[in-house]
Every structure is written in structure tokens, then in C-alpha cells.
A and B are shown apart, each in its own frame.
Chain A
Amino acid sequence: MHECPVCEAEVPISEDPVEGELLECEECGTELEILALGPITLGEAPDAEEDWGE
């Protein structure tokens, strides 16, 4: 478990985390990104940009 950088709630991390992985804090709903793996560092994910998508 790691701490949400926004609300400090515990955020579960998957068994096979990847840098850049998106997560959602279940407590505050903030979309988070795994910024680093060793140690795991969470940050707020960037906002969607105009050319995002398929």
C-alpha cells in the first residue's frame, strides 16, 4: 500500500507495477501515475490532452 499524494489515503498497487501506470485513488478519485518503481512513487496523472485517444 502507498499513500495518495493528494488525500494521503492508502492506495493499493498491483503485483506487477509498471512506470507510467495509471491508478485511481478510491478515496478521493484522483487519477494517479506511478512515477518510479524503486521505491514506488505516486504522482497526479497529467490531464487529458486534445490528441489523446485511439
Chain B
Amino acid sequence: MRVGFLHSLIRKDEKLLIAELRKRGDMELVFLDDRRLVFDLEGRPPVDVVLERSINHSRAMHALRLFEGVGTVCVNAYEVARRCGDKILTAASLRDHGVPQPEVRIAFTPESALAAIEELGYPAVLKPAVGSWGRLLSRVNDRDAAETILEHKAILGSYHHSIFFVQRYVEKGGRDIRSFVVGDECVAAIYRTSDHWITNTARGGRASNCPVTAELAEISLRAAEAMGGGVLAVDIFEAGGGFLVNEVNYTMEFRNSIDVTGVNIPERIVSYLRGVVR
């Protein structure tokens, strides 16, 4: 089986996947550097499956669409990347599938966004629809802050910063959960703990093992299914005795989660590839 490895920069996560792929006698690794690719809408890459690991969301999403357009199986699928990569589409998909999530509002002008924030109440969280690693998230504590942030976004941001995604702030007790879904199994989960309200490990959140209970597995799999399934990381808040799905990530970063969970996540991902090609 020839595995196309769609990438740009190779981080530790990609190195672990490459090492795993090279261990497999039945898999041939074909590097597809997104910085060198040129698509003509017709040519099919000489691979049986593409494993997407691009660091750029926009490149990943378009490349997946173009690969799928010529009949190449991709992990994850284009539609999954599209839904996960845009928080508005994520929220809509979670809603379509009845998956619990923090209350959200979407608005298209600073004025309507301010009204939305006031309706949700303070503090509220303002997020870029497309973004990751906890960047440009704002916890809006009062009306003065709301007006300032919205004005800055409208004037200084590019056009997509004028699409406002507002989320009710969830008091999560200094931690959230990241679960890892591979196909139809929730293979592992971690707590991400931080003194800061942003708990992403990219922002200094500490990873520790989180037992995968039946309830956690269920909501993780439901969230993954809402996105279209595949290899996904689900960010979850514990609130009110239940779970709320915050985000779903389609190019999941797992390097900090292997040792603490004892689960060889790259091995599970590579094994999953075999199943999708059959």
C-alpha cells in the first residue's frame, strides 16, 4: 500500500508517524510536500491513500478537495477538514447531530456581535472562526472590553475577523479534556490543566492521563461522527455533571499524549489507514 504523506514542516508528530509508517513492511511512504505540489485537476497521485499532516489549514483543505476530486482516499476527508477547520461549521454540525456544546452566537457586524455578547453575558469568549493553538481567543469580561476588541477586529483584522463567533464562557475548573478518536474507537484521552483559562498544550497546558470512560467515549465518538469521522481530536469541557464539546481537530497533535496515556497513537493512526483503503 502506498501512503501519500501530505505535509509541509515536519514536527515531532509527523516524525512519529513517519517512523511508524517505515516500520510497516506493507506500506510505502510517499512524501507530498504541499510547498511543491502543483495540481491540474486531473492528475492522480501515485498513492492508495493520503494521510494529511499539513500545518496550514488552507493548504490542507484545498489539497484534500483536489485529491478527492481525482478519486484518492484521504484521511481525513475534505468535508471533515472543512467542518473542523471552521468553528461555525463545527458548531452547526454538532447541533445537527445533537451533540452538546457551549452556547454560541454568530454575528457579522461589530454591532450585532456586541448584542450577542451582551445576550450571552459576561464573561464571553470571542474566537476567530478559523484559528488554532488558542491564538486570538479573547475572554471578554465586560462591555468596555467587548467594544474595544470588536473595534480592533473590525479595523485591524482581515475580512474573516469580521465574522464573529461568540461562545458562552464555561467555568471548567482549570482543565479540559482532549480525547483521541481513530475510526470507531476513542483510543485515549488527556486532561489539559492550566492556571490560564486557555488550556491548549500549545499555550502551556499540562497533559495528564484521563481515563476513557463509557460516557467520554460516547460523546467523543458522537462528536467525531458529526464531523464525518476519521482521525480526530475532540476538545471537551466538563460542566454541570456532563460534557460539552468545544472543538474538533482534524490534524491532531498527539506528541504530548503518548507517554501520559501509554497509548501509541501514531501506531493506531497508521493501522487505521489499512482499513480505509479496503
Contact = CB atoms under 8 A, between A and B. Distances in A.
A54 B252 contact: yes
Given A20-B10, A22-B9, A54 B233 contact: yes
Nearest to A34: B10
A27 interface: no
A45 B35 CA distance: 13
Contacts of B15: 14, 16, 18, 21
Contact of B56 (A14, A19, A34, A51): A51
B90 to A, nearest CB: 12
Given A51-B58, A52-B56, A54-B249, A18 B133 contact: no
A49 B56 CA distance: 8
A53 B132 contact: yes
Given A18-B18, A21-B15, A53 B131 contact: yes
7 contacts: A14-B15, A22-B10, A45-B9, A49-B56, A53-B57, A53-B133, A53-B202
Nearest to B202: A53
Contact of A53 (B7, B14, B19, B55): B55
Using C-beta atoms within 8 Å of the partner chain, give the interface range for chain B.
Answer: 20 to 34
Interface string A24-35: 000000000110
A50 B10 contact: no
A52 B55 contact: yes
Contact of B8 (A20, A34, A50, A54): A20
B33 A19 contact: yes
Contacts of B11: 22
A54 to B, nearest CB: 4
Contacts of B130: 51
Given A51-B56, A53-B133, A53-B202, A16 B19 contact: yes
A36 B29 CA distance: 18
Residue with the greatest number of chain A CB neighbours at <10 A, chosen from B10, B22, B56, B249: B10
* Chain A contact residues, majority secondary structure: loop
A46 interface: yes
Contacts of A54: 132-133, 233, 249-253
A20 B56 CA distance: 14
Nearest to B232: A54
Nearest to B18: A18
Contacts of A19: 10, 31, 33
A20 B55 CA distance: 11
A16 B202 CA distance: 25
Residue with the greatest number of chain A CB neighbours at <10 A, chosen from B11, B15, B233: B15
Given A21-B9, A52-B57, A54-B133, 5 more contacts: A19-B10, A22-B11, A45-B9, A52-B132, A54-B250
Contacts of A18: 10, 14-15, 18, 31
A-B pairs with lowest CB-CB distance, top 4: A53-B132, A54-B249, A51-B57, A21-B10
Nearest to B85: A51
